[in-house]
């Protein structure tokens, strides 16, 4: 379905198409599983990136795998775009509906199918919440390591699609390092399995390709995750710095000392001020930046690592160091970090959370560059970093009701991404590209590279119906890339202009 057709579809054409889809899907799912009145579909019009909204024609909530398969087959036959949706906490517009399409909500796939303490794995349906996996594994002394701050709500299907991370991914890896097998269906309804229950699989590593593919290759229905033993003890250091340069250098110094903390996070002054007002985490409000450095393991390992990290931080110029004395205090330190996004929502009508990466040693440079951008675009920005991974989350504060502010916010965000790439980083760390960073993909990748990514998508979904218009810039969505295509004519895929 090309964008011109979306723009020109008349209300009566949309209504006809809607009725056609409802009738076709109604043959495979019960009536209560289909929503199409605007008051029912409006809650699905955006994800966590609320600046961009689009109501779908139909929302479908299947309950079984045969229903998912039949719905996909029916949409494929009618050439209807489909956007899979987990909890809708994504921050890059990945689950934003298509104007003439179906949102396939996997909310009812919420069962934990098996926890196997011997193999240290869990088999779960895609709509299971991230935190629910660890809760189910807790009686066995196990847990699922990747812990996005949204873990109370986000689903494992969404985590797989975004290759989500969290504050403990520095030591324990991202979703891709903690998932063994993914099952689902292609857009044509063909069952697919990526990876296996065993250590490795023969053939290409398509598990790593589907993890982070942002719902573009397949609809995931079942995931097998690794579980790991809960550490005996965890303690967290909170270190204050009177200069962001020193804080950035301290992060690099910790890693250079051969220490891999369980978490290594940084927040700047505007962020600690917003957070402290919200959750009273005990942060030092006089500091220009604070670091949270966690150690976990046996009591002996933790004691030794805390001592070594404290020494490195002191040498790097920390003005104050506090070590959590008990579990309640450790959780209080983290409650501030984990509530950074909602806290920003209290100080601004809207915020746009950017998500790029840079080499660790450039942390202070990017923070200073962002401060200069605040002047340039006349918007405030609060910063929280998965510092150990070099993953930035600048939260640009703006009012979406003011079109000029939204425009300046978009330019500000694009500038951060461009600067990150110029510093040797990437345009996305863990939140995905979605619609938000579509144009910035042209900053990172050449036309040929984007074309290769498009070719992989086309191999799974030749009609381009699964989550169209996301992630990979194509002719109609990225002006520069479009010009290159016209000039160079390197790509001749007939479906390319569909998006
Ligand atoms: C307050 C807050 C804090 C956050 N903190 C973090 C963080 O620390 N780390 C981090 O990585 N992210 C974080 N996020 C972003 C977000 O929570 C993650 O990207 C999460 O993985 C999205 O899961 P979801 O179930 O909400 O997916 P959705 O938002 O519903 O969808 C996200 C993408 O996945 C696709 N998708 C969803 N389910 C499926 C499926 N079953 N099959 C195929 N495709 C599917 C969708 O089409 C879409 O492209 C945060 C978000 C918020 C609001």
Residue with CA nearest ligand 1 atom 9: 148
Place of tokens 């890693």: 255
Residue with CA nearest ligand 1 atom 16: 90
Phi, psi at 110, each rounded to 5°: -115, 30
The reply to whether ligand 1 has any atom less than 6 angstroms from the CB of 340 is: no
Which helix (H) or strand (E) segment holds residue 469: the answer is none
- From 51, 54, 92, 150, the mutation candidate for ligand 1 (largest count of ligand atoms within 8 A of CB) is 150
Give the pLDDT of residue 6.
58
Residues 6+ apart with CB under 8 A from 322: 237, 238, 239, 282
The reply to whether ligand 1 has any atom less than 6 angstroms from the CB of 146 is: no
Residue with CA nearest ligand 1 atom 28: 88
The reply to whether ligand 1 has any atom less than 6 angstroms from the CB of 324 is: no
Gap from CA of 154 to ligand 1 centroid (Å): 6
Gap from CA of 220 to ligand 1 centroid (Å): 13
Gap from CA of 158 to ligand 1 centroid (Å): 4
The pair of structure tokens assigned to 497 is 């202009």
Give the pLDDT of residue 497.
29
Gap from CA of 107 to ligand 1 centroid (Å): 13
Residue with CA nearest ligand 1 atom 6: 148
CA distance 383 to 241: 15
263 touches 314 (CB < 8 A): no
Q: How many distinct helices (H) and strands (E) make up the chain?
A: 18, 19
CA distance 293 to 266: 9
Gap from CA of 90 to ligand 1 centroid (Å): 4
CA 143 to chain centre: 21
Residue with CA nearest ligand 1 atom 37: 158
- From 51, 65, 89, the mutation candidate for ligand 1 (largest count of ligand atoms within 8 A of CB) is 89
Give the pLDDT of residue 197.
87
The reply to whether ligand 1 has any atom less than 6 angstroms from the CB of 62 is: no
- Reference 239, options 231, 248, 230; nearest CA is 248
Alpha helices in 339-471 (DSSP H): 340-347, 363-377, 403-422, 441-444, 447-460
Gap from CA of 219 to ligand 1 centroid (Å): 14
The reply to whether ligand 1 has any atom less than 6 angstroms from the CB of 158 is: yes
Mean pLDDT by 10 residues, the chain (499 residues): 58 94 98 97 95 94 98 97 98 95 98 97 98 98 96 98 93 96 98 91 91 97 97 97 94 95 95 93 95 97 97 98 96 93 91 92 92 96 93 94 92 94 93 90 88 92 94 59 32 29
Residues 6+ apart with CB under 8 A from 399: 348, 349, 350, 405
The reply to whether ligand 1 has any atom less than 6 angstroms from the CB of 212 is: no
408 touches 352 (CB < 8 A): no
- From 67, 72, 81, 90, the mutation candidate for ligand 1 (largest count of ligand atoms within 8 A of CB) is 90
Give the pLDDT of residue 496.
29
> What DSSP state is assigned to residue 498?
G
The reply to whether ligand 1 has any atom less than 6 angstroms from the CB of 341 is: yes
**CA of 218, closest atom in ligand 1:** 43
**CA of 164, closest atom in ligand 1:** 11
The reply to whether ligand 1 has any atom less than 6 angstroms from the CB of 334 is: no
Global confidence as pTM: 0.91
Phi, psi at 351, each rounded to 5°: -140, 150
Residue with CA nearest ligand 1 atom 34: 158
Gap from CA of 429 to ligand 1 centroid (Å): 13
Gap from CA of 85 to ligand 1 centroid (Å): 9
Q: Could you please report the per-residue DSSP string of 179-193?
A: EEEEEEE-TT--EEE
Residue 382 CB burial class (10 angstroms; 0-12, 13-18, ≥19): buried
The reply to whether ligand 1 has any atom less than 6 angstroms from the CB of 219 is: yes
The reply to whether ligand 1 has any atom less than 6 angstroms from the CB of 47 is: yes
Edge-to-edge order in the sheet of strand 191-195: 112-116, 121-125, 219-226, 179-185, 191-195
**CA of 220, closest atom in ligand 1:** 42
Gap from CA of 97 to ligand 1 centroid (Å): 14
CA distance 447 to 452: 9
> What DSSP state is assigned to residue 104?
E
The reply to whether ligand 1 has any atom less than 6 angstroms from the CB of 48 is: yes
């Amino acid at each position: 379905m090309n964008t011109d057709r979306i723009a020109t579809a008349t209300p009566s054409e949309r209504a006809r198409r809607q009725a056609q889809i409802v009738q076709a899907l109604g043959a495979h799912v019960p009536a209560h599983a289909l929503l199409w009145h605007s008051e029912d579909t409006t809650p699905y019009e955006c994800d966590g990136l609320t600046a961009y909204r689009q109501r779908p024609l139909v929302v479908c909530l299947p309950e079984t795998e045969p229903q998912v398969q039949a719905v996909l087959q029916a949409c494929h036959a009618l050439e209807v775009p489909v956007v899979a949706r987990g909890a809708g906490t994504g921050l890059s517009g990945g689950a934003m509906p298509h104007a003439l399409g179906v949102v396939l909500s996997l909310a009812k796939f919420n069962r934990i199918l098996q926890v196997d303490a011997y193999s240290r794995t869990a088999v779960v349906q895609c709509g299971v919440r991230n935190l629910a996996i660890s809760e189910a594994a807790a009686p066995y002394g196990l847990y699922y390591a990747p812990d996005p701050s949204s873990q109370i709500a986000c689903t494992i299907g969404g985590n797989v699609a975004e290759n989500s991370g969290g504050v403990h991914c520095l030591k324990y890896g991202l979703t891709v390092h903690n998932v063994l097998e993914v099952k689902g269906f292609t857009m044509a309804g063909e069952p697919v399995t990526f990876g296996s229950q065993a250590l490795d699989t023969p053939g290409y590593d398509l598990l790593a390709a589907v993890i982070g593919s942002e719902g573009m290759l397949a609809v995931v229905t079942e995931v097998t995750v690794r579980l790991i033993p809960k550490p005996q003890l965890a303690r967290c250091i909170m270190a204050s710095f009177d200069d962001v340069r020193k804080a950035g250098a301290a992060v690099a110094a910790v890693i250079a000392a051969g220490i891999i903390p369980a978490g290594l996070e940084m927040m700047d002054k505007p962020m600690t001020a917003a957070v402290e007002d919200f959750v009273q985490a005990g942060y030092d409000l006089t500091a220009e930046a604070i670091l949270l450095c966690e150690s976990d393991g046996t009591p002996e390992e933790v004691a030794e690592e805390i001592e070594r990290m404290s020494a490195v931080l002191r040498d790097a110029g920390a003005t104050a160091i506090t070590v959590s004395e008990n579990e309640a205090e450790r959780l209080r330190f983290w409650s501030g970090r984990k509530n950074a996004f909602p806290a920003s929502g209290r100080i601004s009508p809207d915020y746009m959370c950017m998500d790029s990466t840079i080499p660790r040693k450039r942390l202070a440079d990017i923070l200073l560059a962002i401060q200069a951008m605040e002047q340039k675009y006349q918007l405030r920005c609060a910063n929280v970093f998965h510092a150990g991974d070099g993953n930035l989350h600048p939260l640009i504060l703006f009012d979406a009701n003011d079109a000029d502010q939204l425009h300046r916010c978009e330019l500000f965000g694009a500038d951060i991404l461009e600067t990150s790439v110029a510093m040797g980083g990437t345009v996305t760390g863990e939140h995905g590209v979605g619609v938000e960073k579509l144009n910035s993909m042209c900053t990172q990748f050449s036309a040929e590279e984007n074309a290769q990514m498009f070719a992989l998508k086309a191999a799974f979904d030749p009609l381009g119906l699964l989550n169209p218009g996301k992630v990979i810039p194509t002719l109609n969505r990225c002006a520069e890339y479009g010009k290159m295509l016209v000039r160079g004519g390197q790509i001749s895929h007939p479906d390319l202009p569909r998006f």
